[in-house]
Amino acid sequence: MKPYKFILSGGGTGGHIYPAIAIANELKSRFPDAEFLFVGAEDKMEMQKVPQSGYKIIGLWIAGIQRRMTFDNALFPIKLLSSLLKARKIIREFKPDVVIGTGGFASGPLLQIAGFAGIPTVIQEQNSYPGITNKLLSKKASKICVAYENLERFFPKEKMILTGNPVRQDVLDIDSKRSEAISYFNLDDNKKTLLILGGSLGSRRINQLIEKELDFLLALGVQIFWQCGNFYMAEYKNFSEREDVQVVSFIDRMDLIYAAADFVISRAGASSVSELCLVGKPTIFIPSPNVAEDHQTKNGKAIVDKKGALLIKESELEEKFESVFNKLLYDENLQRNLSLNMKKLAKPNATKDIVEEIIKLIK
């Protein structure tokens, strides 16, 4: 029997890339002889991250539509046509058994062409509020793996399976890694560690907040590990000169930094939320309001409603941040309850469950 062939597409941010890599890794563990191909957007971070994970990737000339009028918007129809033609060529030549999309610009043309060609397609929707691309693709999709309940108003109910989001498997057991983590990141084991996460691209508003509140936080005796993002590293790297502050653009060992962290301040992207549920560290979500349908607020609120995290809107940071963080730092009952409730929402078998659904399409 010929080896199975899988095409995966997900990109633009780590929240789309890492779930695709996690699915590929699980498929590879089940089918060591299988062939894999990733398809991404030419100038996005997947073109570096996917090869670093050991997989081949082909780029499409595609980008989303900007909210304001730009030259790129005028080019969108040409880019879309180019990407559809290239996607058709890729599918004809590679002949995949299944095509899997985890979101991002490139997954649209690819899954569209695969659907027209009669190839089974799987959508992995990470958010509590789907983007327009996945809503359109869902009509032809074979299966839709979702991370949140009550998405029937967006997707055909009979195609949906509640699986959760794929996460890095190395974050499943962090309790045993604390001493290694303290050493790896050169932290002080006698101080509480605050981890700042702005998402894979960084967050200007969270960076501005931490810059403004740095003296307040340090006066509380915490040490700060601050992931500011590639876009902002030049602007914020000098803060590493402060005692008990480390600023990095990207974190290569998320398992270890989660193990070291006592508190987390984070955006509420779907993958971050799913990972933090597994990790169970007391968390303050600061959702980005600048995403489609404000889905980060909805992602974070799904956890807050189950008393698993705290949430501060960007518009309320000035008035609420110091009092909320103060309470979190000193209220050990609150810390314990947040951790317990957050862990109850975790779906540690998400990657395996998604792969089981993919296998049903090829058996």
Residues 51 and 184: their CA atoms lie apart, in Å, by: 25
With H, G, I as helix, E, B as strand and everything else as coil, classify residue 133. Answer: helix
Query: Is the Cβ–Cβ distance between 304 and 287 less than 8 Å?
Result: no
Query: Is the Cβ–Cβ distance between 43 and 126 less than 8 Å?
Result: no
Q: The whole model's pTM is what?
A: 0.84
Tokens 């082909």 correspond to 58
Which residue ranges in the chain fall short of pLDDT 70?
63-76
**pLDDT in the model for residue 76:** 66
Query: Is the Cβ–Cβ distance between 161 and 135 less than 8 Å?
Result: no
Question: Taking each helix axis from N to C terminus, what angle separates 14-30 and 270-279, rounded to the nearest 10 degrees?
Answer: 60
Q: b/e for 222-256, b at 16 or more Cβ within 10 A?
A: bbbbbbbbeebeeebeebeeeebbbbbbebeebbb
**pLDDT in the model for residue 10:** 85
**pLDDT tens track for 130-159:** 888 888 899 899 999 999 888 999 999 999
**pLDDT in the model for residue 103:** 85
Report the amino acid identity of residue 28. Answer: K
Query: Is the Cβ–Cβ distance between 301 and 265 less than 8 Å?
Result: no
**pLDDT in the model for residue 71:** 53
Task: Pick the closest to residue 359 from 34, 114, 127 (CA basis).
Answer: 34
Residues 6+ apart with CB under 8 A from 2: none
